[in-house]
Amino acid sequence: MSTLTPDNLAALEAQAIELPSWAFGNSGTRFKVFGTPGTPRDPFEKVADASQVHKLTGLAPTVALHIPWDKSDFDDLRKHAEDHGVQLGTINSNTFQDDDYKFGALTHEDAKIRRKAIDHHLECIDVMDATGSRDLKIWLAEGSNYPGQADMRGRQDRLHESLETIYARLSDDQRLVLEYKFFEPSFYHTDVPDWGTSYAQVSALGDRALVCLDTGHHAPGTNIEFIVMQLLRLGKLGSFDFNSRFYADDDLIVGAADPFQLFRIVFEVVRGGGLNNPDVQFMLDQCHNVENKILGQIRSVLNVQEMTARALLVDTEALRAAQVSGDVLAANQVFMDAFYTDVRPQLAEWRAGRGLPADPMQAFLDSGYQEKIEAERVGGTQAGWGA
């Protein structure tokens, strides 16, 4: 049971994980953003770095952009991506860095500010037309800090109206994914705090509006795999933002803080038909504040691949038989047997057989790419939050 079958390997070969352009820029906490030698100065350099991850792992064929951080000539950027063997992916809107949005954007009391936020999303859809992207991802930093500060009901109604206007502009092959997050930057109420609210809002729009599940956006102890199961069951899981966390929205390397949780999540993805299903986009949403950014992304996609391999190893027939017969401990053992299987040697051998490095982390270190970008990228302004 611990050997990956040809079917398992075929599933792993088809796996694709989208990288966030912003993971290659500088980031930090609210206390400090650290500069790092070789950090990209523009979206072209970010895409070049992202392409290294795909080249060494075969796992990351697309790169998500954040607007306005990645504003550029999108025809050129699209061609540049293709020249580097990758494609541009999800377009992320940003209504969290403008003074006008202090009290909300799509939910704001002032129709002029709502219009500005809607227009930003329409501009993002223009970008999608140019980049060939399918998905518009919306995360809203909207809410309030004090009881009584905001009319929570009115804000839901305005959110619906704003989203309707945005959704109406999408073409038939484009989608809207609405991300939820339980707190931050607002601390009392958040307008899209949970999957239920996102589900209610996207369901009111139509079939091409879905929920984005960011694994770092839940209260401690939340059974995230239950949410995955439910959204897949409802046909509304549009995408994942993978990362991991110890405390809040830490944006750490996926699988680093709680590998078992990642296993449980991926198991439900497989169980619910979400693996290699084009309707369910796997993405990373991470920041590499203290570690090498390209290696951080390589580690992340490998972690997802390893947990997928382990999830595929669950003996589902034995599991089902134990569940049906009420054999609690046998069921749990079947589950844990797969989790505890070290698939890394098999995956290394399989990678090598496909012309990829057996150890992509070491291959990056040996490639000289980091030294090259550190030597070349001198001067200019390094990309980071807000740039």
Q: Which residues bind ligand PSV (CB under 6 A)?
A: 22, 92, 139, 179, 181, 214, 241, 249, 285
CB closer to ligand PSV out of 210 and 363: 210
- Choose the contact partner of 42 out of Mn ion, ligand PSV, none; CB within 5 to 8 A by kind: none
Pairing between strand 87-92 and 209-214?
unpaired
The whole-angstrom separation of Cα 267 and Cα 339 is 10
Question: Quick count: other Cβ atoms within 10 Å of Cβ 16?
Answer: 17
* Neighbouring-strand partners of residue 177: 137, 210
- Which of 218, 228, 237 lies closest to 311, judged by CA? 228
- Choose the contact partner of 249 out of Mn ion, ligand PSV, none; CB within 5 to 8 A by kind: ligand PSV
CB closer to Mn ion out of 64 and 311: 64
- Choose the contact partner of 92 out of ligand PSV, Mn ion, none; CB within 5 to 8 A by kind: ligand PSV
Q: Applying CB under 5 A, which part among 90-98, 208-216, 288-296, 332-340 lies near Mn ion? A: 208-216
CB of 142 to Mn ion, least distance (A): 15
- Choose the contact partner of 18 out of Mn ion, ligand PSV, none; CB within 5 to 8 A by kind: none
Q: Is 135 in the site for Mn ion (CB under 5 A)?
A: no
- Which of 169, 185, 96, 103 lies closest to 136, judged by CA? 169
- Choose the contact partner of 306 out of ligand PSV, Mn ion, none; CB within 5 to 8 A by kind: none
Q: Counting Cβ atoms within 10 Å, is residue 112 exposed (0-12), middle (13-18) or buried (19+)?
A: exposed
Which residues lie closer than 8 Å to 340 by C-beta, 6 or more apart? none
CB of 141 to ligand PSV, least distance (A): 7
- Sign of the Cα pseudo-torsion (11, 7, 270, 302, in order): negative
The whole-angstrom separation of Cα 285 and Cα 41 is 20
The whole-angstrom separation of Cα 27 and Cα 36 is 10
SS3 169: helix
Q: Is 285 in the site for Mn ion (CB under 5 A)?
A: yes
By CB under 5 A, name the one of 142, 214, 251, 306 that touches Mn ion. Answer: 214
Structure tokens at 383: 């990309």
CB of 355 to ligand PSV, least distance (A): 34
Structure tokens at 352: 């090598």
CB closer to ligand PSV out of 74 and 139: 139
Residue number closest to ligand PSV, CB atom: 139
CB of 102 to ligand PSV, least distance (A): 17
By CB under 5 A, name the one of 241, 249, 251, 306 that touches Mn ion. Answer: 241
CB of 285 to Mn ion, least distance (A): 4
- Sign of the Cα pseudo-torsion (321, 325, 326, 328, in order): negative
Using CB under 5 A, list all residues that contact Mn ion: 214, 241, 285
